[in-house]
Amino acid sequence: MVTGKKRNVPEHKLVDTLFGYLQLRDYRVLREVPNMGQSVDLVAIKNRWVYCIEVKISDWRRAIEQCRAHEAVADLIYLAMPESKPSQELVNTLETYGYGLILVVDGKIKMFRRAKRNRLVWKPQRKVFMTKLNTVVDA
Amino acid sequence: MPDHWITFGTFKEQDYYRYPADNEYKGIVFNANMVSHAPGGLAGFLLGKINPKSLYIIDPMTHAFQHNLGHIGNSKGEIKSSIDKLLTTYGSLVENPIRGEGRPLNPKDFEDNKRVDEFVRNVLEFQTESLTKAQKEHEYAKYLLGDDINRPYALLLPYLYFKQSTWELWKTPQEKIFQSFVQLNREGLEVERFFAAIVISADLLGEEEFTEWVADLLVQSGVEGAVLWVDDFDENSASIDYLRGLRDLVRRIRNINDDFELINLHGGYFSILISSAENRETGFTGVAHGPEFGEFRSVIPVGGGIPVAKFYLMDLHARLKYKEAVRIFSKFGWLESADVFHQSVCDCPTCREALDGDSANFVKFGISESKKIQRGGGVVTMEYPTSVTRVLCLKHYLYKKGEEFKMANELSNDQLMSMMEATIGRYQESIGLDEVGNLRQWLKAING
């Protein structure tokens, strides 16, 4: 259960906020990139590093499941939520998997927890992912 | 035991009903709506695509008329044309309430005995005539010797769907169907084997009163066998009580006599296990599944459904989403080389051909293409497996299912149980207890 203050923000607004934030910091950013039967909300690329970000208003457990699929392709995996204070259960789960957490509140971005480098990338799947990525039109 | 049956899916898979071996499947099950919709296509399939010695059964789908009519309607709110044809064929008992009054069947519709007799006769004649006639009219018929038409292996009596909340209300109609059958003049039916169909919700598994009623009905009717369909019964996630309930129901029915046949229309590895060589007297005589789906199936909606390509992992006896397969195999290091993959995951001809000496080619089991579809007032992009991926997953699946039936027919119960225990030991530390939960449940259900 998430205990912090919840904001009634549509998910796409969070995605937009993050998108703009990352673009300003010179990341190449794409939305809805297909990955093994699902879509990644946001993919950010800088130099050789690939970041996958799942954005969720609530139901972080579902987001964690979605993040697990990205382990085959992403160097760093993040969950982004409109929370000011995430629950200890969420934080512990992120610690277990090595995922990061970005908080988006009132249009402001806070890096709550940095992701650990994901060592489970499978290169052939990463290659497929990068090919798919290049077919997604940059917004 | 058990015999390997397969249910017909769509014409897209028609080339694979002789895979992995020409004589892999004892028989095929067709749904009546498909028979009604495409008899010529199915005739061509019977004459040209499958082993000519393959048996077949037609499921008359009479349960379809019990449900809310929305489940048999199309997007315009009309009855689907294939079901509509069945209404005409089956006669006034179903036609009057559904077409005439716009409502599903209710038990009162069975009060007129003449209507029940007409219904039983029409349902049986449909099965014996539809594909027989279609084969005779097919262009391939000229190649047949004499009257070498493939007739149904057995005819299924009309059946109703039973669930805990309403089964007692449908008892009398089902009894009337059986009574009508017993008195039926079978001349002209050209098939001499008759089966009942037991289609139930899982909450009736373990219900002793229901089980005894079914067994008595089967004995009194003199049918030679039955098919069983437990609504949406996923053996990989069913409770121990339901698994035991299934096992006990099967035992009770097989106890009718040594020759009584019982086929699970939608079964998985648990059904195969309880029907192994050592359990030949108490298990299913046959287990059916679809081409890469159909190990469980919902009674409603009636027909349809788009199967998703998945990778069948033999160790777990489960179909995995591609992303799950990659996750598990990566965790164990099984994608490091083709040799390691073939030793640890699968050595079947499909996997050997697909990998072609390079484990990176496992990606072929997960290639998808994007399609935009209308959903909820907007357009969304969905990923669908490519046809190449679908065929790979299908062929691999069919090969593995063939191996499962072979194992059940050749290995002892102890050996089969030991294999599952070894898998639990190998997997649970690395990927968690949940992933092998199905194997634990099966072992408890069988040994308990």
Span A27-31, average pLDDT: 95
Least confident segment among A3-7, A23-27, B359-363 = A3-7
B283 pLDDT exceeds 60? yes
With an 8 Å Cβ cutoff, are B381 and A39 in contact? yes
A3 pLDDT exceeds 60? no
With an 8 Å Cβ cutoff, are B323 and A36 in contact? yes
With an 8 Å Cβ cutoff, are A124 and B383 in contact? no
Judge residue A137's burial from the number of C-beta atoms within 10 Å of its C-beta, 0-12 exposed, 13-18 middle, 19 or more buried.
exposed
The answer, for B21 touching chain A at a CB cutoff of 8 Å, is no
pLDDT tier for residue A1 given thresholds of 50, 70 and 90? very low
Nearest one of A44, A41, A34 to A15, comparing CA atoms: A41
* CA-based nearest distance A70→chain B, Å: 9
Write the residue in A38, A39, A72 that is nearest to B330 by C-beta. Answer: A72
Give me the half-sphere count of Cα atoms (radius 13 Å) on the Cβ side of residue B384.
10
Please give the ipTM for the structure prediction: 0.88
pLDDT at B375: 66
Residue A96 in tokens = 């277990």
* Better-scored residue on pLDDT, B75 or B385: B385
Residue-wise pLDDT for A53-101, tens only, equals 999 988 899 999 999 999 999 999 999 999 888 999 999 999 999 999 9
Share of chain B above pLDDT 70, in %: 98
Write the residue in A68, A69, A128 that is nearest to B363 by C-beta. Answer: A128
Query: Locate tokens 């005779």: which residue?
Result: B136
CA distance B359 to B83: 47
DSSP labels, chain A: ---S-B----HHHHHHHHHHHHHHTT-EEEEEEEETTEEEEEEEEETTEEEEEEE-SS-HHHHHHHHHHHTTT-SEEEEEESBSS--HHHHHHHHHHT-EEEEEETTEEEEEEPPPPP----HHHHHHHHHHHTTSPP-
Residue B276 in tokens = 């192994």
Give me the half-sphere count of Cα atoms (radius 13 Å) on the Cβ side of residue B388.
11
B412 pLDDT exceeds 80? yes
pLDDT at B380: 72
DSSP labels, B143-167: GS-SS-----SBEEPP--EE-TTTH
With an 8 Å Cβ cutoff, are A72 and B362 in contact? no
pLDDT at A7: 54
CA distance B234 to B5: 18
* Better-scored residue on pLDDT, A30 or A2: A30
Span B189-208, average pLDDT: 94
Span B166-171, average pLDDT: 96
* CA-based nearest distance A12→chain B, Å: 14
∠ at Cα B356 (B355, B361), nearest 5°?
Answer: 35
Residue-wise pLDDT for A34-44, tens only, equals 999 888 999 99
Q: Give the pairing of strands B261-264 and B225-230.
A: parallel
∠ at Cα B106 (B104, B110), nearest 5°?
Answer: 120
Q: In this structure, how many other beta carbons lie within 10 angstroms of the beta carbon of residue B164?
A: 14
CA distance B416 to A16: 54
> Using omega within 30 degrees of 0 as the cis cutoff, is the peptide bond preceding B2 cis?
yes
pLDDT at B433: 83
Nearest one of B130, B124, B105 to B180, comparing CA atoms: B124
pLDDT at A132: 86
B432 pLDDT exceeds 90? no
Span B320-324, average pLDDT: 93
Residue B4 in tokens = 């390997």
E-strand spans in B53-125? 55-59
pLDDT at A139: 46
Phi/psi class of residue B305: alpha, beta or left (left: φ > 0; alpha: ψ in -120 to 50)? left
Q: In this structure, how many other beta carbons lie within 10 angstroms of the beta carbon of residue A88?
A: 10
Mean pLDDT score of chain A: 90
Mean pLDDT score of chain B: 92
With an 8 Å Cβ cutoff, are B326 and A68 in contact? no
B395 pLDDT exceeds 90? yes
Residue-wise pLDDT for B105-128, tens only, equals 999 999 999 999 999 999 999 999
pLDDT tier for residue B270 given thresholds of 50, 70 and 90? very high
With an 8 Å Cβ cutoff, are A37 and B366 in contact? yes
pLDDT tier for residue A2 given thresholds of 50, 70 and 90? very low
Q: In this structure, how many other beta carbons lie within 10 angstroms of the beta carbon of residue B82?
A: 19
Write the residue in B326, B330, B359 that is nearest to A36 by C-beta. Answer: B326
- Which of A39, A125, A126, A137 to probe the B interface (max B CBs under 10 A)? A125
Going from the C-alpha of B90 to that of each of B54, B82, B115, B448, the distances in angstroms are: 27, 12, 10, 45
* CA-based nearest distance B261→chain A, Å: 41
Span B130-144, average pLDDT: 87
pTM, entire model? 0.92
pLDDT at A84: 82
pLDDT tier for residue B76 given thresholds of 50, 70 and 90? confident
A118 pLDDT exceeds 80? yes
* CA-based nearest distance B383→chain A, Å: 5
